Amino acid sequence: MIKTYDVVIIGAGGAGLRAAVEIPKEYSCAVISKVYPPRSHTGTAQGGVCAALSNMEEDSWENHAFDTVKGSDYLGDQDSIEVMCKDAIRAIIELEHMGMPFSRNENGQIAQRFFGGHTKPADKNDPFGKRVPVKRSCYSADRTGHVMLQTLFENSIKNQVTFYSEFFVTELLMENGVCKGVVAFDIANSEVHIFQAKAVMFATGGYGRVFRITSNAHVGTGDGMALVYNAGLPLEDMEFFQFHPTGLWKLGILVSEAARGEGGILKNKDGERFMSRYAPSVMDLAPRDMVSRAIISEIREGRGIRGSDGTDYVLLDLTHLGKEVIDDKLPEITGFARTYLGVEPTTEPIPIQPTAHYAMGGIPTNVNCEVLMNEKGDIVKGLYAAGECACVSVHGANRLGTNSLLDLVVFGRRGGKAISDYLKNASFTEVRNDADERTKEIIAGLLNSNGTEKAVNIRTELQNTMMEDCGVFRTEEGLKKMILKLEELKERYRNISIQDKSKVFNTELVEAIELDNLLKNAEATVYGAYNRTESRGAHTREDFPKRNDQEWMKHTFAFEKKGSAPEIKYKPVVVTRYQPMERKY
C-alpha cells in the first residue's frame, strides 16, 4: 500500500512539529510517530529554553554563543552555533506568539533563570576573562518541554498536518543520493505501508535506552539514526553522549538543572558542597559533563552514600529554598522525588546519580537540516534531519542545558523552510510496489522464529555493559571489552524469537526491532570512543586524560560495514571567532 505526500516527517516531538508548522498548506504533510504526539519525549524536558532576551539582566547573543562553544569543549561548529544563538531571541518570541505559556517576571515579561554553563563577562571590557552566571533560561515552571510540545501540536493541527500515530518506520527508501520515502508498519495491526514523498525529515530523538540508567523514555531507541546508518549514510560524533548529573537514584528519572538554577546544592555524605573542588567560580552551575564526572569522582573516593541496592549516590539539597519556591518553580521534579523515592524535598535532600540523557552526535546535517552523505559535505537530495537525532554540531562534545529545546525550534523551523523551498521545484521519484518486502520479511522472520534468544536478555546485557564500559569514564580496555560484547550480542540477535505471535499491538515485535536499532547506535558510539584517544567534553578517556587539539579538533563520521567494524572518517571542526582555550569554570 503506497501513501503519497509532498513531505513526510518522522517524529512528533519539538523538531518534527516545528518543521510541520512551517510547511505551507498548499503542500501535503504527514507526521509519522511511534507514539501519540503529546507523548513525544520533548514533553519531558523540564528546565527551560535559552535566549539572550535580557529580561532579567543585560545579556547578548555573543555571550550565549561563547558559552555554547566553550561548553562544547570547542568541538561545536561555530558557524552553526552563531546561527542558533542569533536566532534564539526571535524563536522564543515566536513561541510566545504561538501561545506558549511562559512563566513571567514581575514586569510581565518572559521570566529567565540561571542554568549551568550560561555566563556573561564580569567585566564588559574583558569578554574572555572572569565570567559570572547569567539568567538566560526562559521557562514554564519545570514543565517547559511539555507546554512547548502542546503548543506546537495545536499549531500543527491548525496547519492541517496529517498524523500517523503508533506507526513504526523501518526503512529509508533512497537511491543514487535521492530520498524517495520511507516504509512503516501500523503497530495496531502490523500492516506495512510505503510512504512516497518528495522530501523526508527525521526528527526521531535520541537513543538513551542503550544505557541502563537513563532519563530517556522507552521510545528513545535511536530509530532514525539506525535507519540512516543502515542505508549507508554516516553518523557523526556518536562517542559524545551526555550524562545528566542529577537523575533520581536507581531510576534515572530527570531532576532538572532548574533545581540548581534556583539555588539547589550538591552535597556528599559528609554534607560538603563538593563542587567547590571542581568548578570554584560557578560551583553547582558548571556544565553537565563536569558535574557528572565530579559526582562519580566523589563516589569513587568514598564520599558517596551507599543505597539499599548496593549502588552509590550523592544528595541534591533544596531544603533551604523554602516551600513556596519549590512548589511554584519546581513542582514536577519534587513531585517525582515524593512519588518514586518517598523523599520530601522541602525537608530532605534528594538522592541523585548521573543518568544517560542526550546524544550530542547523530545524523550529520548542514545548517539547513539537509542530511550529509559523507564527510565532504555532499547532501542527500530530499532528506533532512533536526533535533536530537541530528548533528549540525551546535553541541559539540557537551551540550549546555536549555540548548536542546532551542535546537529543536531553531533548526526545526529552518528545516521546514528548507523543505518548503525544495518542494517548489521537486517531483516524486518512482517507488517500486515491492519496496516494502524487506520490512515484511523482518516482521515475518520475527513472528515465525523459533530461536532461543530473547530480546529482553540481549537488551539488558547491552545496557549494563554500555553503562560500565562506555559511560561517564572510559578506557581502552573497557572499550575493547565492549566491542567484543557487541559482536557477541549481534550474533545472538540473529537467533531471537518472540513469544507474542499476534499482529495486533505486538509491542514485543516493536521492542525486537528497536533492539536492532540500539545495537547499531551502540556500535557507532563504541568505535568512535575507542578511536578518539583524548578526553573532550562528555567523552572522558582515563588513559588519555588531556584534550588534544593538535590531533582531535575533528568530527567523527562512522559508516556501517556489514560483517565488519564500521569505517571511520573525519571532518574538521569549523572555527570562526573563538579560538580553543583551556576549559575551566
What are 325-349's pLDDT values in tens digits? 888 888 888 899 999 999 999 999 9
- Please give the mean pLDDT across all residues of the chain: 95
Bridge partner list, 3 = 195
Question: Which residue, 63, 99, 94, 97, is CA-closest to 81?
Answer: 63
Residues in CB range of 222: below 8 A, 6 or more apart: 204, 205, 206, 207, 209, 210, 359, 389, 517, 518, 520, 521
pTM of the model as a whole: 0.94
Residues 443 and 537 in one domain: yes
pLDDT in the model for residue 113: 92
Residue 272 lies in a domain: yes
pLDDT in the model for residue 142: 87
Question: Do residues 472 and 354 touch, judged by C-beta distance below 8 A?
Answer: yes
The Cα–Cα gap between 519 and 485 comes to 11
pLDDT in the model for residue 457: 97
pLDDT in the model for residue 563: 85
Residues 344 and 442 in one domain: no
pLDDT in the model for residue 585: 84
pLDDT in the model for residue 145: 93
Q: Which domain holds residue 261?
A: 247-353
In this predicted model, which residue has the larger pLDDT, 15 or 126?
15
CA 53 vs CA 78, 79, 359, 508: distances in Å: 21, 21, 27, 47
Q: 89 pLDDT exceeds 80?
A: yes
Residues 447 and 347 in one domain: no
In order, the DSSP letters of 287-355 are -HHHHHHHHHHHHHTT-SEE-TTS-EEEEEE-GGG-HHHHHHH-HHHHHHIIIII---TTTSPEEEEEE
Residue 449 lies in a domain: yes
Residue 67 lies in a domain: no
The total number of structural domains in the chain stands at 2
In order, the DSSP letters of 383-433 are EEE-STTEE-SSSTTSPPTTHHHHHHHHHHHHHHHHHHHHHTT--PPP--T
Residue 361 lies in a domain: no
Residue 259 lies in a domain: yes
Q: 126 pLDDT exceeds 80?
A: no
Domain boundary among 529, 545, 561: 545
Residue 539 lies in a domain: yes
* Catalytic residue, candidates 143, 288, 413, 536: 288
pLDDT in the model for residue 332: 86
Q: 455 pLDDT exceeds 80?
A: yes
| Confidence grade of residue 560 (pLDDT, cut at 50, 70, 90) | very high
Residue 299 lies in a domain: yes
Residue 344 lies in a domain: yes
Percent with pLDDT over 90 in the chain: 89
Q: What is the CATH number of the domain that holds 443?
A: 1.20.58.100
Tell me if residue 494 is catalytic. no
pLDDT in the model for residue 128: 74
Domain boundary among 295, 327, 353: 353
Highest mean pLDDT, choosing among 43-52, 308-317, 461-470: 461-470
pLDDT in the model for residue 334: 87
Domain boundary among 330, 353, 376: 353
The Cα–Cα gap between 90 and 203 comes to 22
Q: What is the CATH number of the domain that holds 329?
A: 3.90.700.10
